[in-house]
């Protein structure tokens, strides 16, 4: 039998709040974490708002010299991973450390550090370069730092697959546990690219919402008024453990990561396949990996970026997989509240989904005053919805046509402790 992997710890740094519990309470309460940028002056840009982690102080986790030597994305990863490890009640003893790894999804890495040092080079010259510039900007610095911090000597690398990165990282961590390579994986996604360079690039693509007069209502997945995604930052880290390892130490289990599917649209470098063809493949493969049928799925945590083409393609894919059940299948879109955290999205939203199963409470989708009836979805809106969920689906997609789907199962749905 395949080894099983369960989530025993969760750490969150989101535009809603610092920390797991505060983020979850804001999410189920239907709050928005979207506001005008404060990390830089956005006055020259068409889009002047996004999702920043509020009141994040890296000195709560790092001393001041270390803060100066690390990019904000690494700082967010450290904070979330510390919370996740504490939540799991896990310390990597010498006997465990060689079989404990770190695998994170990161789309762009230390872009803020790269942008800062490029400006410094042009203004002051090469002699003013920070010797830590290169590790600050590398996309694999965060997992490396987490391994050092927690003593994890197992697999250590970064998955970089645009906005599917976090979900791919969790899925690949599942496969490492199934293959017997690791017993513990610190995994998820992290991103912090809220800079003038990055935002102006997405503005040039016309990918972002421009509702500067009402940032909190700008992210409106599956709504008729959607006009682009809302860029954000954050970190979502989960501790994924082999089931018997978790049982042996009496760990509290949030949910089981039961299935993983991945695919390519093979269609366009940025636009999704209009019929959701690649998404269908990813979902079907995740269901097969979990050993469940479409009829078993009771809830979908959607990718749902609030772009016209993206939301439509995902909705069509869901209708192709679930048929008439799609009209009744509860769907929620966390990006309505946190925006699109790029490489962190799959990590943050999988953590939210694990909490959904654990608390039997589906968070709402906000800003859904104008439902797009043509999409044929049953969106959870107007408040959180109570009810036991045994099997749920998480979707994440990225530029390049890359897709990832995860199946999470309530742990006691198959005779768990």
Just list the catalytic residues: 163, 303, 340
Residue of 49, 71, 57, 47 lying closest to 13 (CA atoms) = 57
Query: With contact defined as beta carbons under 8 Å apart, do 107 and 163 qualify?
Result: yes
Any residues with CB less than 8 A from the CB of 170 and at least 6 apart, and which?
Answer: 105, 187, 188, 238, 240, 257, 260, 346, 347, 350, 406
**Angle ∠(376,378,384) on CA atoms, nearest 5:** 155
**Angle ∠(165,349,41) on CA atoms, nearest 5:** 75
Indicate the pairing of strand 100-105 with strand 156-159. parallel
Any residues with CB less than 8 A from the CB of 124 and at least 6 apart, and which?
Answer: none
- How far is the C-alpha of 28 from the C-alpha of 383, rounded, in Å? 7
- Alpha-helical segments (H) within 125-270: 133-137, 141-150, 165-178, 196-204, 243-248
Query: With contact defined as beta carbons under 8 Å apart, do 261 and 282 qualify?
Result: yes
Paired residues of 257 in beta bridges: 5, 408
**CA distance readout (Å), 221 to 5, 126, 274, 302:** 31, 45, 17, 9
The burial of 78, by beta-carbon neighbours within 10 Å (0-12 exposed, 13-18 middle, 19 or more buried), is given as buried
Q: What is the CA radius of gyration of the chain?
A: 20
Query: With contact defined as beta carbons under 8 Å apart, do 238 and 347 qualify?
Result: yes
**CA distance readout (Å), 104 to 41, 74, 174, 238:** 30, 11, 13, 10
End-to-end CA distance of the chain: 18
- How far is the C-alpha of 303 from the C-alpha of 193, rounded, in Å? 19
- How far is the C-alpha of 24 from the C-alpha of 30, rounded, in Å? 10
Query: With contact defined as beta carbons under 8 Å apart, do 37 and 231 qualify?
Result: no
């Amino acid at each position: 039998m395949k080894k099983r992997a369960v989530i025993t710890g969760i750490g969150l740094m989101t535009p809603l709040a610092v920390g797991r519990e505060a983020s979850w309470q804001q999410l189920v309460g239907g709050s928005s974490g979207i506001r005008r940028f404060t990390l830089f002056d956005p006055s020259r840009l068409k889009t002047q708002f996004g999702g920043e982690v509020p009141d994040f102080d890296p000195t709560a986790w790092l001393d001041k010299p270390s803060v100066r030597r690390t990019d904000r994305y690494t700082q967010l990863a450290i904070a979330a991973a510390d919370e996740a490890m504490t939540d799991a009640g896990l310390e990597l003893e010498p006997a465990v450390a060689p079989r404990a790894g770190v695998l994170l999804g990161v789309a762009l890495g230390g872009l803020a550090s790269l942008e800062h040092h490029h400006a410094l080079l042009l203004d002051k010259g090469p002699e003013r370069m920070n010797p830590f510039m290169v590790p600050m900007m590398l996309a694999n610095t965060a997992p490396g730092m987490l391994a050092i911090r927690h003593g994890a000597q197992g697999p250590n690398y970064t998955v970089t697959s645009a906005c599917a990165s976090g979900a791919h990282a969790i899925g690949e961590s599942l496969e490492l546990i199934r293959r017997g390579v690791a017993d513990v994986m610190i995994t998820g996604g992290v991103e912090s690219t809220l800079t003038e360079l990055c935002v102006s690039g997405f503005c040039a693509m016309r990918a972002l919402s421009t509702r500067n007069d009402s940032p909190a209502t700008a992210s409106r997945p599956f709504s008729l008024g959607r006009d682009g995604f809302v860029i954000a930052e954050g970190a979502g880290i989960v501790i994924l453990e082999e089931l018997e390892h978790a049982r042996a130490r009496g760990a509290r289990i949030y949910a089981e990561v039961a299935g993983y599917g991945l695919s390519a649209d093979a269609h366009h470098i940025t636009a999704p396949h209009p019929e959701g063809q690649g998404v269908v493949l990813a979902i079907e493969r995740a269901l097969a990996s979990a050993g469940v049928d479409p009829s078993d799925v009771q809830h979908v945590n959607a990718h749902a970026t609030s772009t016209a083409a993206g939301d439509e393609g995902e909705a069509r894919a869901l209708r192709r997989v679930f048929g008439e059940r799609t009209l009744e299948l509860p769907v929620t879109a966390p990006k309505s509240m946190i925006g699109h955290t790029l490489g962190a999205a799959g990590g943050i939203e999988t953590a939210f989904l694990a909490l959904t199963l654990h608390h039997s409470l589906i968070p709402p989708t906000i800003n859904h005053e104008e439902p797009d009836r043509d999409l044929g979805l049953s969106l959870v809106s107007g408040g959180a919805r109570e009810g036991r969920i045994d099997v749920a689906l998480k979707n994440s997609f990225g530029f390049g046509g890359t897709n990832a789907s995860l199946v999470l199962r309530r742990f006691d749905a198959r005779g768990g402790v």
